[in-house]
Homo-oligomer: A and B are copies of this chain.
Amino acid sequence: MAVGLNAFPEIPEIKGVRFAAVEAGIKKANKKDLVVFELSEGSSVAGVFTQNQFCAAPVRVCREHLASDTTTPRYLVINTGNANAGTGKSGYEKAITTCEAVASQVGVQKHQVLPFSTGVIGEPLPVDKILAALPNALSSLKSIGWKDAGLGIMTTDTLPKGAFRQVEVFGKIVTIGGISKGAGMIRPNMATMLGYIFTDAAVDQKVLASLLKSTTNQSFNRITIDSDTSTNDSCIAVATGLAENESISDLSCGDGLVFAEAFLAVMQELAHAIVRDGEGATKFVTVEVTGAAQVNDATKTAFEIAHSPLVKTALFASDPNWGRILAVVGRAGVEDLQVDKVSININGCEIVKNGGRSSDYTEEAGQVAMAPSEIHILVDLGAGDCSDTVWTTDFSHDYVTINAEYRT
Nearest-neighbor residue (CB-CB) of A120 within chain B: B323
A53 touches B339 (CB 8 A): yes
B404 touches A310 (CB 8 A): no
A355-369 contact mask (Cβ, 8 Å, vs B): 1 or 0: 111000000000000
Name the residue in A230, A354, A397, A404 with the highest tally of chain B Cβ atoms < 10 Å from its Cβ.
A404
A378-408 contact mask (Cβ, 8 Å, vs B): 1 or 0: 0000000000000000011101110111111
Known A-B contacts: A86-B322, A226-B310, A228-B310. Give 7 more (CB < 8 A). A51-B331, A86-B355, A88-B354, A231-B323, A309-B395, A313-B399, A317-B404
Query: CB of A236 within 8 A of chain B?
Result: no
B403 touches A400 (CB 8 A): no
Which residues of B are found within 8 Å of A401, using beta-carbon distances? 397
The complex places the Cα of A361 from the Cα of B83 at a distance, in Å, of 19
Q: A347 to chain B: closest CB distance in Å?
A: 18
A53 touches B397 (CB 8 A): no
Query: CB of A121 within 8 A of chain B?
Result: yes
Nearest-neighbor residue (CB-CB) of A327 within chain B: B231
Q: In residues 305-342 of chain A, which contact B (Cβ within 8 Å)?
A: 307-310, 313-314, 316-317, 319, 321-324, 326-331, 334, 337, 339-340, 342
B316 touches A88 (CB 8 A): no
Which residues of B are found within 8 Å of A81, using beta-carbon distances? none
Which residues of B are found within 8 Å of A122, using beta-carbon distances? 321-323, 326, 357
Taking a contact as CB atoms closer than 8 A, the residue among B55, B399, B407 that contacts A319 in the complex is B407
Given the contacts A54-B355, A356-B87, A230 and B403 also touching, CB distance less than 8 Å: no
The complex places the Cα of A85 from the Cα of B322 at a distance, in Å, of 11
A329 touches B88 (CB 8 A): no
A226-238 contact mask (Cβ, 8 Å, vs B): 1 or 0: 1111110000000
Query: CB of A77 within 8 A of chain B?
Result: no
Query: CB of A52 within 8 A of chain B?
Result: yes
Q: A83 to chain B: closest CB distance in Å?
A: 7
Taking a contact as CB atoms closer than 8 A, the residue among B54, B121, B230, B310 that contacts A184 in the complex is B310
Which residues of B are found within 8 Å of A307, using beta-carbon distances? 227
A52 touches B331 (CB 8 A): yes
Nearest-neighbor residue (CB-CB) of A121 within chain B: B323
Interface size class of A (residues with CB under 8 A): 35 or more
Q: A207 to chain B: closest CB distance in Å?
A: 30
B86 touches A326 (CB 8 A): yes
Taking a contact as CB atoms closer than 8 A, the residue among B189, B340, B399 that contacts A309 in the complex is B399
Which residues of B are found within 8 Å of A229, using beta-carbon distances? 327, 330-331
Query: CB of A134 within 8 A of chain B?
Result: no
Which residues of B are found within 8 Å of A407, using beta-carbon distances? 319, 321
Query: CB of A352 within 8 A of chain B?
Result: yes
Name the residue in A122, A356, A397 with the highest tally of chain B Cβ atoms < 10 Å from its Cβ.
A122
The complex places the Cα of A408 from the Cα of B313 at a distance, in Å, of 13
Query: CB of A22 within 8 A of chain B?
Result: no
Nearest-neighbor residue (CB-CB) of A313 within chain B: B403
Q: A155 to chain B: closest CB distance in Å?
A: 13
B406 touches A395 (CB 8 A): no
B309 touches A405 (CB 8 A): no
A404 touches B313 (CB 8 A): yes
